């Protein structure tokens, strides 16, 4: 999303149809959360001690990365990190950066575009295969542009081999906005790829004949999964639609459900639980407005369109999404971790009985835009800071 000057407020979905009432309810609910749950993690929940910033040690593992965007752990504990400008680096367990790997394809590093997310194959231990999503130079009807594309490659000690582009979105546009490009594998080894609406073409998010504003599901070779909901259509890879710019996707560690998080416009950032063939509403329904203040839609609900599990209004510009699972911060098991670009913090959403409860903010004093968040093999939390001199941060207790 583009920058917004509004303050951080959180809320759950309102239950009214009219936008003015919905937004009033949202603000009232948001104030309650803001007052009691967003004080640097200082809120006490019952009798248990709630972890605060004073309990957390922040260690800089690496710096000098150019707008790091995505990361993925290898089985041996090394970390692959992408740089939006076009690089992929390997960070060893002892904190040494490899330098940019060789044979990485060229990217269109324009505005939000470039080398974006990265993931390892579910069978990496036997095939050394990785996947990465990036903005690739393309053209439509003879006009140049770029599209979100996914390539797979074999990872070697020095670089990549056998680079193969397995998917390219047909949303080819000559701008640098709303690529999506987050990746996640489910238990069946299906790959989910998030696609943005490319900003100019928001209405196309409702058109299931193309990839604008969609989340797609493919096999590891790039083919569409056989039971995809629109398998006989022009865009058989589509799994869900009606999205704006999805900057986080993860798999629930217990249920296996796919969860996704997207940027709204000015307000209306969302977390959704994805369902096959479901319509998540953008831009027909939204809790946000245009950056100018103009109304995009006067509706927040409509039959046949899903409500978000949680939304933020005003926006926090969330990026990176994962569930915490580990022993280091065991009090957080099952909770959601997201990064906030706009308000420069790590945010934890407490989950109880499958519903969002209190929210907590951490590491705000670092004043760093948090682009991605992952949980490491030992339960430590890893963050990427989005800056020309970007860092890998490790949070321990």
Q: What residue segments make up the domains of the chain, in order of their start?
A: 10-396
CB 341 within 8 A of CB 319: yes
Would you name the residues annotated as active-site residues?
A: 178
pLDDT at 342: 97
Q: Nearest 10 degrees: CA dihedral of 143, 149, 154, 160?
A: 50
Matching residue, tokens 């865009």: 235
Alpha-carbon span 323 to 332, nearest angstrom: 9
CATH class for the domain made up of 10-396: mainly beta
Band of pLDDT at residue 10, cut at 50, 70 and 90? very low
pLDDT of 245 > 50? The answer is yes
pLDDT band at 94 (very low <50, low <70, confident <90, very high): confident
The DSSP symbol for 101 reads P
The mean pLDDT of 107-128, rounded to a whole number, is 97
Instruction: Label residue 48 by pLDDT band (50, 70, 90).
Output: low
pLDDT of residue 37: 43
The three-class DSSP label of residue 164 is strand
Q: Give how far Cα 381 sits from Cα of 73, 91, 150, 276, 332, Å.
A: 12, 15, 26, 31, 11
- Tens digits of per-residue pLDDT, 103-116? 999 999 999 999 99
Contact 159, 87 (CB under 8 A): no
* Residues shown for the chain: 397
**What is this structure's pTM?**
0.90
The predicted pLDDT at position 35 comes to 32
* pLDDT of 330 strictly over 90: yes
Say what the pLDDT of residue 350 is. 98
Q: Which of 45-54, 80-89, 125-134, 272-281 comes out lowest in average pLDDT?
A: 45-54
Spatial separation of the C-alpha atoms in residues 302 and 299, rounded to whole Å? 7
Would you say residue 231 has pLDDT above 70?
yes
CA distance 378 to 270: 29
- Helix (H) or strand (E) segment spanning residue 204: none
- Round to whole Å and give the CA distance between 96 and 81: 12
What was the pLDDT predicted at 33?
37
Cα dihedral 276, 277, 282, 287, rounded to 10, equals: -50
List Cα–Cα distances, 166 to 21, 59, 141, 297, 386, in angstroms: 46, 37, 22, 36, 28
Average pLDDT, rounded, for the chain: 90
* Residue with token string 């993931």: 119
Task: From residue 268, give the alpha-carbon distance in Å to each of 98, 212, 283, 286.
Answer: 39, 19, 11, 6
Ranges of beta strands (E only) in 99-206 are 115-120, 129-140, 143-155, 160-168, 180-185, 191-195
Percent over 70 (pLDDT), the chain: 88
Cα 238 from Cα 27, distance rounded (Å): 34
Query: Does the structure show a pLDDT above 80 at 165?
Result: yes
Q: Average pLDDT of 51-59?
A: 96
pLDDT in tens, 256-293: 999 999 999 999 999 999 999 999 999 999 999 999 99
How far is the first Cα of the chain from the last one, in angstroms, to the nearest whole number? 33
Distance CA 171, CA 153 (A): 23
Q: Which residue intervals of the chain are DSSP H helices?
A: 19-37, 124-127
């Amino acid at each position: 999303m583009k920058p917004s000057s509004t303050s951080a407020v959180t809320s759950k979905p309102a239950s009214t149809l009219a936008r003015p009432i919905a937004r009033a309810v949202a603000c009232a609910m948001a104030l309650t959360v803001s007052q009691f749950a967003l004080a640097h993690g200082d809120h006490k929940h019952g009798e248990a001690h709630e972890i605060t910033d004073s309990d957390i040690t922040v260690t800089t593992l690496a710096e000098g990365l150019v707008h790091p965007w995505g990361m993925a752990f290898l089985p041996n504990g090394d970390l692959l990190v992408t740089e939006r400008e076009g690089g992929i680096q390997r960070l060893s367990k002892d904190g040494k950066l490899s330098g940019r790997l060789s044979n990485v394809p060229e990217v269109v590093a324009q505005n939000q575009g470039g080398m974006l997310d990265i993931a390892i194959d579910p069978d990496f231990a036997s095939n050394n295969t990785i996947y990465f999503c990036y903005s690739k130079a393309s053209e439509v009807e003879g006009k140049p542009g770029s599209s979100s594309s996914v390539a797979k490659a074999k990872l070697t000690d020095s670089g990549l081999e056998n680079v193969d582009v397995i998917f390219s979105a047909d949303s080819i546009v000559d701008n640098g906005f709303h690529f999506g490009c987050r990746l996640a594998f489910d238990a069946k080894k299906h790959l989910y790829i998030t696609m943005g609406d490319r900003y100019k073409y928001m209405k196309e998010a409702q058109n299931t004949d193309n990839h604008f504003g969609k989340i797609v599901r493919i096999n590891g070779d790039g083919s569409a999964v056989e039971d995809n909901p629109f398998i006989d259509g022009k865009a058989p890879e589509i799994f869900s639609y009606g999205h704006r710019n999805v900057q986080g996707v993860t798999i629930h560690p217990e249920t296996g459900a796919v969860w996704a998080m997207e940027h709204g416009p000015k307000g209306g950032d969302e977390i959704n639980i994805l369902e096959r063939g479901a319509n998540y509403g953008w831009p027909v329904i939204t809790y946000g407005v245009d950056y100018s203040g103009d109304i995009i839609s006067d509706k927040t609900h409509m039959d046949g369109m899903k409500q978000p599990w949680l939304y933020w209004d005003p926006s926090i510009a969330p990026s990176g999404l994962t569930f915490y699972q580990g022993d280091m911060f065991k009090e957080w098991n099952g909770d959601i971790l997201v990064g906030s670009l706009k308000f420069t913090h790590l945010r934890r959403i407490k989950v109880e009985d499958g519903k969002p409860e209190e929210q907590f903010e951490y590491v705000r004093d670092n004043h760093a835009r948090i682009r991605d968040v992952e949980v490491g093999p030992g339960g430590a939390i890893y963050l990427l800071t989005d800056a020309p001199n970007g860092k890998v941060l490790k949070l321990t207790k």
